């Protein structure tokens, strides 16, 4: 696959959109809080595998804040596909594949491998601190698959303490797909003149992929390994990819137009909130509550709710260079920057507390202890991991795109003639 092969050479750099998403880390921070809360409630329940039913009327509420995971997928879809999407739509120089692969490896692999090794050493092949001698253990392939990001498909008891690592496997699968999909898009659009025609083709394909992916989920709606596999989970990333495709088309029209941007952004937020409410109001089935078990319209609503959130954030930043305070505050931005380590270590911390508490305490006591003690311990562990493991590798990342943040007066993209 060649690194450089422009689709066209415009006379001036087009306005393809924002640089750094101001609210990106803030959304990760809020999402990390939601994920942590859900897992505290799951692990605090003394009844094994009860899936929140012990919380009575609160069960549907706790079970539906899993939209945070949907937001993570949409954000990845936007940020990872964006350099390729901009090059495709604007007809400019493509990202370097070598840099892309290097950056993805540096971002995901080092801290994940370290945490996986530490968890295996601490919890063993049975994934438990109090396992009886006859407890089932992971076989060699199940252990190896953790390092290949296939644990969602092979599972095994030793993968449990590393947290919901199946979602990291889903992300890696998406990372692998993007360059191949982009290369196919470049070939298909080679004879299409104009950004709008190229974007229309891409958006039609994205819509088709979303529908097919959601439809495939019905193949086995209770099989975790299938529902978290790339074909069945790809729909979750598609709103972010679509935003990356569409952004170069509207960027010039809303940049520095604060009133217009605010109207569009808050309309998107309101519509996204409506989708989230309808999603949360759906029937509560303990077997299908988590986002990775969402089916049909429910899956589509989750993707739309998160997609509209990020569409609003991008438009608002284009028009005002600001983001909502709930995301753009120091606490959430700080936590969001460390959310990957936080995400990987939080189940470990909660399982340690679960082991200390035993089964004699009430569910209320367990929730309080796991929340009030587990949260600061997870934050501390995540901060140390970020400082000494993540950040040294992140500082070695290289640019994957040739686009610099555009000036306000940059040329708009020309429609096809």
| Integer angstrom CA distances of residue 325 from 37, 148, 171, 256, 340 | 21, 38, 28, 19, 22
- If you average pLDDT over residues 255-281, what whole number do you get? 94
| Integer angstrom CA distances of residue 239 from 87, 311, 380, 401, 415 | 18, 9, 33, 21, 23
- Asked if pLDDT for residue 16 goes beyond 90, the answer is no
- Asked if pLDDT for residue 397 goes beyond 90, the answer is no
Burial annotation 86-124 (CB, 10 A radius, 16+ → b, else e) = bbbbbbbbbbbbebbeebbebbbebbbebbbebbbeebb
pLDDT tens digits, 166-217:
899 999 999 999 999 999 998 888 788 889 999 999 999 999 999 999 999 9
Spatial separation of the C-alpha atoms in residues 232 and 234, rounded to whole Å: 6
Position 289 scores a pLDDT of: 53
pTM: 0.90
Position 55 scores a pLDDT of: 83
User: Domains of the chain: which residue ranges?
Assistant: 24-394
Confirm if 51 and 286 have CB atoms less than 8 A apart. Answer: yes
- Asked if pLDDT for residue 129 goes beyond 70, the answer is yes
Position 399 scores a pLDDT of: 61
- Asked if pLDDT for residue 242 goes beyond 70, the answer is yes
Helices H, strands E: what count in the chain? 17, 0
Query: How many other CB atoms sit within 10 Å of the CB of residue 135?
Result: 13
Spatial separation of the C-alpha atoms in residues 291 and 342, rounded to whole Å: 20
Burial annotation 284-315 (CB, 10 A radius, 16+ → b, else e) = beeebbbbbbbbeebbbbbbbbbbbbbbbbbb
- If you average pLDDT over residues 60-67, what whole number do you get? 80
CA dihedral of 340, 345, 347, 353, whole degrees rounded to 10: -150
Beta bridge partners of 14: 411
- Asked if pLDDT for residue 352 goes beyond 90, the answer is yes
pLDDT tens digits, 76-120:
999 999 999 999 998 888 899 999 999 999 999 999 999 999 999
Among 9-23, 167-181, 344-358, which stretch is predicted with the lowest mean pLDDT? 9-23
Query: How many other CB atoms sit within 10 Å of the CB of residue 353?
Result: 18
Share of the chain above pLDDT 70, in %: 90
Q: Crossing angle, helix 67-90 and helix 258-280, to 10 degrees?
A: 140
- If you average pLDDT over residues 146-162, what whole number do you get? 90
Spatial separation of the C-alpha atoms in residues 143 and 156, rounded to whole Å: 8
């Amino acid at each position: 696959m060649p690194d450089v092969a422009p689709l066209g050479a415009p006379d001036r750099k087009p306005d393809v959109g924002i640089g750094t998403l101001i609210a990106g880390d803030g959304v990760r921070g809020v999402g990390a809080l939601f994920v942590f809360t859900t897992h505290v409630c799951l692990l605090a329940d003394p009844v094994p595998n009860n899936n929140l039913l012990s919380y009575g009327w609160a069960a549907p509420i706790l079970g539906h804040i899993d939209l945070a995971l949907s937001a993570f997928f949409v954000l990845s879809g936007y940020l990872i596909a964006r350099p390729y999407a901009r090059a495709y739509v604007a007809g400019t120089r493509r990202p370097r594949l070598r840099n892309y692969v290097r950056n993805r490896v540096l971002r995901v692999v080092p801290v994940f491998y370290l945490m996986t090794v530490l968890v295996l050493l601490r919890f063993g092949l049975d994934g438990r601190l109090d396992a009886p001698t006859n407890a089932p253990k992971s076989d060699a392939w199940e252990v190896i698959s953790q390092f290949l990001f296939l644990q969602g498909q092979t599972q095994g008891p030793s993968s449990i303490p590393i947290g919901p690592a199946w979602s990291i496997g889903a992300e890696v699968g998406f990372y692998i797909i993007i360059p191949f999909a982009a290369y196919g898009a470049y070939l298909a659009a080679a004879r299409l003149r104009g950004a709008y025609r190229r974007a229309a083709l891409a958006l039609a394909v994205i819509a088709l992929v979303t529908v097919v992916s959601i439809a495939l989920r019905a193949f086995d709606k209770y099989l975790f390994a299938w529902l978290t596999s790339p074909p069945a989970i790809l729909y979750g990333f598609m709103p972010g990819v679509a935003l990356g495709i569409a952004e170069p088309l509207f960027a010039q029209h809303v940049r520095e137009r604060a009133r217009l941007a605010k109207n569009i952004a808050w309309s998107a937020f309101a519509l996204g909130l409506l989708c989230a409410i309808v999603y949360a109001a759906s029937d509560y089935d303990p077997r299908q509550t988590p986002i990775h078990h969402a089916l049909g319209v429910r899956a589509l609503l989750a993707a739309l709710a998160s997609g509209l959130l990020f569409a609003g954030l991008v438009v608002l930043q284009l028009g005002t260079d600001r983001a909502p305070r709930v995301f753009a505050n120091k606490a959430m931005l700080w936590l969001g920057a460390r959310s990957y380590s936080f995400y990987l270590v939080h189940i470990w911390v909660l399982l340690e507390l679960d082991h200390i508490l035993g089964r004699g305490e009430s569910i209320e006591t367990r929730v309080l202890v796991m929340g009030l003690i587990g949260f600061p311990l997870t934050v501390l562990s995540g901060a140390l991991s970020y400082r000494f493991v993540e950040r040294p590798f992140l500082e070695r990342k290289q640019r994957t795109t040739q686009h610099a943040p555009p000036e306000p007066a940059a040329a708009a993209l020309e429609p096809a003639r």
